[in-house]
Amino acid sequence: MDGQKNNCPFCSPVVEKATFAESNNFRAVYNIAPILPGHCLIIPKNHLSSLLDIPTTDMTEMMLFSRKIIRVLSKAFGTSSYDWTIQEGQPAGQTIEHLHIHIIPRTADDLPEPGDWHPRLEASEPRLIDSFLRSKYSYAELKSIVEKLSRIFIDQGA
Ligand SMILES: [Zn+2]
């Protein structure tokens, strides 16, 4: 497939099963190993490693699409709080060389301290790869949440 890379979990057909919304060049994927309910990923459809690789002409699309996804998550998970982060480069914790923006809905007292999401994120990345490659996740559960989020995305006229 054009723009795809072998052995990349985000270029694998498996990722389509976890996709609940798409724009022309990006997709929103429910994280198969969420650190909190609603933990999603925005990824470019093409295999691009860095934010610096995203064509300038796609930057607005990426941000507007991400905002739509935040609205979907707000509705689905009953909150207007979220963390979002990009880990760029191995020293920053990037374990999959395909750009991904983590969006994590937050609610009061969901973690002992608001900043506790970060060590959990670090610990979850290897599981995320493992899950995508080995398909250990329950697809019935994944399908259910992907369908729910997809309906909200469509309902909001995205
Ligand atoms: Zn890839």
Per-residue 3-state assignment (H helix, E strand, C coil) for 43-57: EECCCCCCHHHCCHH
Query: Could you tell me if 103 and 73 are in contact, meaning their C-beta atoms sit under 8 angstroms apart?
Result: yes
Residue 8 lies in a domain: no
Instruction: State how far the Cα of 96 lies from the Cα of 89, in Å rounded to an integer.
Output: 9
Q: What is the pLDDT of residue 57?
A: 96
Residue 97 lies in a domain: yes
Average pLDDT over residues 118-129: 76
- CATH number where 59 lies: 3.30.428.10
Residue 85 lies in a domain: yes
pLDDT at 128 over 70: no
Query: Could you tell me if 31 and 40 are in contact, meaning their C-beta atoms sit under 8 angstroms apart?
Result: yes
**If you measure from the C-alpha of residue 21 to the centroid of ligand 1, how many angstroms do you get, rounded to a whole number?**
18
pLDDT at 136 over 80: no
Q: What is the pLDDT of residue 125?
A: 72
* pTM of the predicted model as reported, rounded to 2 decimal places: 0.88
Instruction: State how far the Cα of 100 lies from the Cα of 90, in Å rounded to an integer.
Output: 13
**If you measure from the C-alpha of residue 154 to the centroid of ligand 1, how many angstroms do you get, rounded to a whole number?**
26
What strand order describes the sheet that includes 81-86?
19-22, 26-30, 40-44, 101-106, 81-86
**If you measure from the C-alpha of residue 124 to the centroid of ligand 1, how many angstroms do you get, rounded to a whole number?**
18
DSSP 80-94: SEEEEEE--SGGGT-
Residue 148 lies in a domain: no
Instruction: State how far the Cα of 19 lies from the Cα of 22, in Å rounded to an integer.
Output: 8
Domain range for 101: 14-142
Query: Could you tell me if 40 and 103 are in contact, meaning their C-beta atoms sit under 8 angstroms apart?
Result: yes
Domain total of the chain: 1
Q: In one letter, which amino acid is 70?
A: I
Residue 77 lies in a domain: yes
Element (H, E) at 69: helix 56-77
pLDDT at 2 over 90: no
Which of 65, 16, 39, 63 lies closest to 117, judged by CA? 39
Q: What is the pLDDT of residue 135?
A: 52
Report the catalytic residues.
100
